[in-house]
Amino acid sequence: MFWCAFVVFFLALGNELHLSHATEVSVNNTENKLCLYANLMVNFSVTYEVGVNKSETVLFVLPENVTTEGSICNNTTSTLKLGFGDGHSWAVEFTKDNKTYQVDSIVFTYNLNDSNVFTNSTSNETKSVTAKPRITNVGVDTYYSCKSENVQRVESVTQTLYDVTLQAFVTNGSKSDTDTVCTADLTSSTVAPTTTVTTTAAPTSTPTPTLPTPTTGNYSIAPDFNSTACLMATFGLRIGFKQGDKVETINLVPSATEVGGACGVNSSILILTSDTINIMFTFNNDSKKFHLHALNVTVKPATGVAVVAANTNMSIWVAAVGSSYMCNKEQTLTVTETLTLYTFKLRVQPFGVEKGEFATAVECFMDSDLSFLVPIAVGVALCFLIVLVLISYLIGRRKSRTGYQSV
């Protein structure tokens, strides 16, 4: 029983990270035949006013369940309109010539009167922004495919598209098997996320530690130049990734890294950008606890192709809102089978920062005084198991001798 209990306890230490679902829709024409198809992921970041000279930034995603009311299929123009939530919509305008089609614009409409999304908004307006993405020269009877991130920033709104599959002007009533791949994917190797990830699992191939320990960087986000930090993080970061059969590692260099991001009521983001690494951390909170919710990583090594990986439904680095999360020991986070993150001397606080200082830290298990009990518990459990086996063996022999004596 002790052995079983220990195994359950030990396995529970690894937080499984499950992937979110994409938004997939099909639109039929008046003949009830497929004319528009989409399967994609979109993240939104919207900054809005909550008072005089005060603003908040909220982050949310295009949900799995949407409506297609207002979508239109014509010979040379088409509109894919996705409605969601309380008065929000996301519309893609397509046009076609003889051999190709393109996206002319993406119109995002959001309702500031939706208190579930825009908490404490001082406006009840419905606003729209129009983005002009570079989605062109898509062959007729092919679908547009782009795994890489496509970031559109217009006014106070940022839209991030990724894992995009789009087809307009479908002619035979079914989605094409041929794709037109975006330029970003042609110059990168995009890694599809695995279905589950554990923070305690080792990577598929452990890289040889040839690099020095990464330099610890101090990163912070402030609402404006005159404010103190609303998000703080400090850590050293290494990324391990596969290039063919070879495993390579790269360190993030803080002195060569630009910091960006935004602080929201329920979501905050930290974006670190260098010549070789782009990484976006998305933190969520439920008013009581916060956690790391999503990771988007792009590695651009000196040789070989770029590697892109994303996980958009994580639950690690958990701590109470108003406190910080700390883990000084090296942490291994296996994002995909071919990309792994290693953090050193980690401390983060994405919410409730006061006076530009970290609050009391919640320590990870590896830093706690109880971590030394793990090898002891393993040893005790093994000894207990050996004793049970010996007792069972002796009882079995005794019964055998009793049987012989009876004969």
Residues 31-72 have pLDDT tens digits of 999 999 999 989 888 888 888 878 777 878 898 899 999 999
Looking at the fold, whether 381 and 362 belong to one and the same domain comes out as no
Looking at the fold, whether 137 and 282 belong to one and the same domain comes out as no
CB 34 within 8 A of CB 170: yes
Question: Per-residue confidence at 369, pLDDT binned at 50, 70, 90?
Answer: low
Looking at the fold, whether 117 and 77 belong to one and the same domain comes out as yes
Q: Following DSSP, what letter does each residue of 193-226 receive, concatenated?
A: PPSEEESSSPPSSPPP--SPPPPPEEEEE-SSTT
Collapsing DSSP states into helix, strand and coil, what is residue 129?
Answer: strand
In this structure, is residue 36 part of a structural domain?
yes
Examine the fold and report which residue of 187, 216, 231 is the final residue of a domain before the chain moves on: 187
Rounded to an integer, what distance in angstroms lies between the CA atom of residue 402 and that of residue 407? 9
The mean pLDDT of 339-352, rounded to a whole number, is 95
Examine the fold and report which residue of 152, 187, 222 is the final residue of a domain before the chain moves on: 187
Examine the fold and report which residue of 169, 187, 205 is the final residue of a domain before the chain moves on: 187
Looking at the fold, whether 120 and 89 belong to one and the same domain comes out as yes
**Which residues lie closer than 8 Å to 118 by C-beta, 6 or more apart?**
46, 48, 58, 110, 111, 112
Looking at the fold, whether 307 and 232 belong to one and the same domain comes out as yes
In this structure, is residue 133 part of a structural domain?
yes
Looking at the fold, whether 292 and 233 belong to one and the same domain comes out as yes
Instruction: Provide the residue range defining the domain that includes 66.
Output: 23-187
Looking at the fold, whether 264 and 362 belong to one and the same domain comes out as yes
In this structure, is residue 320 part of a structural domain?
yes
Looking at the fold, whether 219 and 265 belong to one and the same domain comes out as yes
Looking at the fold, whether 204 and 66 belong to one and the same domain comes out as no
Domain containing residue 333: CATH number: 2.40.160.110
In this structure, is residue 5 part of a structural domain?
no
Collapsing DSSP states into helix, strand and coil, what is residue 312?
Answer: coil
Question: Per-residue confidence at 191, pLDDT binned at 50, 70, 90?
Answer: very low
In this structure, is residue 271 part of a structural domain?
yes
Looking at the fold, whether 246 and 321 belong to one and the same domain comes out as yes
Domains contained in the chain, number? 3
pLDDT at 94: 96
In this structure, is residue 1 part of a structural domain?
no
Residue 123, both tokens: 């406006």
Looking at the fold, whether 181 and 280 belong to one and the same domain comes out as no
Tens digit of each residue's pLDDT (9 = 90 or more) over 296-313:
888 888 777 778 888 877
In this structure, is residue 41 part of a structural domain?
yes
* DSSP H helix total and E strand total for the chain: 3, 29
Looking at the fold, whether 117 and 216 belong to one and the same domain comes out as no
Rounded to an integer, what distance in angstroms lies between the CA atom of residue 316 and that of residue 295? 11
Rounded to an integer, what distance in angstroms lies between the CA atom of residue 93 and that of residue 71? 10
Strands of 112-230 (E only): list them.
Answer: 126-131, 135-139, 143-146, 150-154, 157-168, 179-181, 188-190, 196-198, 217-221
Neighbour tally for 32: CB within 10 Å: 8
In this structure, is residue 209 part of a structural domain?
yes
- Global pTM reads 0.55
